[in-house]
Amino acid sequence: MRYKSKSLLVWMGLILALLVPLSVTAQEPAPDVRNGKWIAGADIGVIFATADDEAFGMNYYGDYYFNQNVSIGPLVQFGFTGDLFQFGPSAQIKYTMDIDNRWKAHAQVGLGFIYANLRRPGSNNNEDDTSLLMPIGAGIEYRFTSKLSAGGTVIANIMDLNSVRGENFSLSFLGGLKWRF
């Protein structure tokens, strides 16, 4: 009999330990009001088809929302390998769509410039180039709290870095966090 009561208490404890966190996360957050607010974020990931093949990528951005769906702000992209440094600031316009109170999807397009510096192995000189940059992307985010979200973005960069590389297109897959102010 003593064994059954301990077993029952253990099972009740496990069920309670599972239900309490689920009940907290099951509550829908208040509707997201973005009008007149700044949202800043940072992403990390990989950039494919850079001047030095795949590169580690970092993005920093800030979005100022004119209304519930449309924002404008800076996007600064960095790409790194052992031989490559890539820097691409741009101004972005973004359209954000609410899927529900927690999930958001966005599409963005921008215009800026990109600078790439590549040190080729066995060469004494560095190759660098600067070009116009047009980043086009889409992403999705999940809102944890009224101030914090996590998400992922895919960005296609259209550019013309002919002296450093032959291709004029790169693709970034990034994920990170967003903070609301």
Q: Residue 8 has what pLDDT?
A: 60
Residue 142: other Cβ atoms inside 10 A = 13
Q: Which domain holds residue 152?
A: 32-180
Q: pLDDT (tens digit, 9 = 90+) per residue, 55-83?
A: 999 999 999 999 999 999 999 999 998 88
Residue 14 covered by a domain: no
What pTM did the predictor assign?
0.78
In a domain, 161, yes or no: yes
23 within domain boundaries? no
* 116 assigned to some structural domain: yes
CATH of the domain at 160: 2.40.160.20
Task: Establish if 9 belongs to a structural domain.
Answer: no
Cα–Cα distance, 69 to 178 (Å, whole number) = 16
Tell me the pLDDT tens digit for each residue of 105-160.
999 999 999 998 887 766 666 678 889 999 999 999 999 988 899 999 999 999 98
